[in-house]
Amino acid sequence: MRAVRGRIAILGAGIMGASLAITMSRRGYAVSLFDKENEPVACASRWNEGKIHLGYLYGADPSLLTAKHLVSGGLQFGTLVSELIGNNLVEHTTFADDIYLVHRDSIIGAEALGRTFERVDALLHDHADASNYLVDVSAARSRRLSKQELADVTDSEQIVGGFKVPERSVNTRWIADRLCEVLKGEPNITLRMASKILSARPVDEIDGRWRVAVEGEESDAFDVVVNCLWEGRLAVDRTAGLEPTPGWSHRYRLCLFGRTRRPVDVGCAVVALGPFGDIKNYDGRNFYISWYPAGLLAESSELSIATPAAMDASGRQQIIDDVRARITQLVPNVSRMFDEAEELQLRGGFVFAQGRGSLSDPKATIHRRDQFGINRRGSYLSIDTGKYSTAPWLAEKLTRQICRIE
């Protein structure tokens, strides 16, 4: 057996904490992985759309800084996750390019969006990892849909144009289950579930060991502490002496996750750009559907945000009905998914962003996501995951950084 190289506490068992725990454990560290939930990967990382971002969705950032910040993580996602879970993602990846439908109230018009998409295409072609995406995108291009192609998807006058974009999504529930299996089987990982983290403080010097306080107990000291708490991150950072950079926001969103009795032939679509909706069909039977205003339950720019109170059955049904009505108005085909559904869950989670404002405001800083990443105070590190798609790539970066610390 390899000697243990050091003790590391990882706070938060979403995709960020889980990916880091697995890579650090495989490097020979003794990992304690803490989470307030009873099971790992139970929150936003299980219940999200799984778009593996290449930057197209951030067409309202003309500087392209968001696309540049997202692209490496997106391109490497498939390879890195396959290594983590020892399994190929192909059967759990959407099987066609995304269709972006431009709404007449889009904050960016179709012409301007098309020009930005061309710049993102160029970014991909120049990238060394372009062939390593979920599908090879080294020669792929976004393109405007013909009138007929658009008419095949929508007859709504609210949609004024459409694009085919070489972006894919993955079934996050399937990946969450695989990550849980690996976490439970790794000999160097101790799962500390049902453990709410309150604070992190140095035992003595900030470059030395750190102690984390868990509700109801004082935990041991660790050589390295990494905060991956997502919506709970900033409050713990403050106790650790890392002052959050002003300008963040938290939101809590609900969406529909369904499974049909038999395969349904409905393509993936994103209504762009603003507070609209998406459709994801991962494998013919598992799908995700959202209508943003219907599912947005809470927004805050405070340091922390509480989980919204549980809704009664009629409140939940109202959201389901609203999502269905709004999305089928634009993409009528989607009603087949609802008609064939054998399971329909209304689930979701928090979105943290180093940005604020309304999605319908083109000037809002929420349209930029170029600030996420790693922050550090001695042996305490804090990580803003940014996106689901960037977590495994950031875990690799963090692992390299931490191994240099020791």
Ligand X SMILES: Cc1cc2nc3c(=O)[nH]c(=O)nc-3n(C[C@H](O)[C@H](O)[C@H](O)COP(=O)(O)OP(=O)(O)OC[C@H]3O[C@@H](n4cnc5c(N)ncnc54)[C@H](O)[C@@H]3O)c2cc1C
The residues near 218 (Cβ < 8 Å, ≥ 6 apart) are 211
Question: Are the C-beta atoms of residues 163 and 100 closer than 8 Å to each other?
Answer: yes
Q: Which stretch binds ligand X (CB under 6 A): 25-33, 228-236, 322-330, 337-345?
A: 228-236
- Shortest distance, position 211 Cβ to ligand X, whole Å: 15
- Please select the residue that binds ligand X; options are 27, 53, 103, 168, rule is CB under 6 A: 53
CA distance 83 to 94: 20
- Shortest distance, position 62 Cβ to ligand X, whole Å: 21
- Please select the residue that binds ligand X; options are 31, 33, 43, 359, rule is CB under 6 A: 43
Q: 57 vs 130, which CB is nearer to ligand X?
A: 57
Exposed, middle or buried: residue 148 (CB in 10 Å: 0-12, 13-18, 19+)? exposed
* DSSP annotation string for 60-74: T-TT-HHHHHHHHHH
- Please select the residue that binds ligand X; options are 51, 192, 285, 369, rule is CB under 6 A: 51
Site residues (CB under 6 A) for ligand X, limited to 369-398:
385, 387-389, 391
CA distance 94 to 169: 5
> What's CA 267's distance to the chain center, in Å?
21
- Please select the residue that binds ligand X; options are 55, 348, 355, 392, rule is CB under 6 A: 348
Site residues (CB under 6 A) for ligand X, limited to 152-191:
none
- Shortest distance, position 36 Cβ to ligand X, whole Å: 4
Q: Which stretch binds ligand X (CB under 6 A): 11-19, 262-270, 328-336, 363-371?
A: 11-19
Q: Which stretch binds ligand X (CB under 6 A): 46-54, 102-110, 305-313, 358-366?
A: 46-54
- Please select the residue that binds ligand X; options are 22, 35, 120, 240, rule is CB under 6 A: 35
Q: Name residue 309's amino acid.
A: A
Q: Which stretch binds ligand X (CB under 6 A): 1-9, 227-235, 320-328, 331-339?
A: 227-235
- Shortest distance, position 267 Cβ to ligand X, whole Å: 16
- Shortest distance, position 354 Cβ to ligand X, whole Å: 12
210, 207, 180: which is closest to 193 by C-alpha?
A: 180
Cβ atoms < 10 Å from Cβ of 82: 15
- Please select the residue that binds ligand X; options are 16, 64, 268, 330, rule is CB under 6 A: 16
Q: 17 vs 277, which CB is nearer to ligand X?
A: 17
Whether the CA torsion 104, 108, 110, 113 is positive or negative: it is negative
- Three-class SS state of 298: strand
- Please select the residue that binds ligand X; options are 101, 159, 197, 394, rule is CB under 6 A: 197
Phi-psi region of 14 (alpha: psi -120 to 50; beta: other; left: phi over 0): beta
Q: Which stretch binds ligand X (CB under 6 A): 35-43, 142-150, 157-165, 185-193?
A: 35-43
Residue 230 lies near ligand X (rule: CB under 6 A) = yes
Phi, psi at 215, each rounded to 5° = -50, 125
- Shortest distance, position 75 Cβ to ligand X, whole Å: 13
Q: 48 vs 354, which CB is nearer to ligand X?
A: 48
CA distance 312 to 388: 29
* DSSP annotation string for 286-297: EEEEEEHHHHEE
Strands 98-103 and 269-272: parallel
Residues that bind ligand X (CB under 6 A): 12-17, 34-37, 42-45, 48-51, 53, 196-197, 228-232, 253, 255, 348-349, 351, 385, 387-389, 391
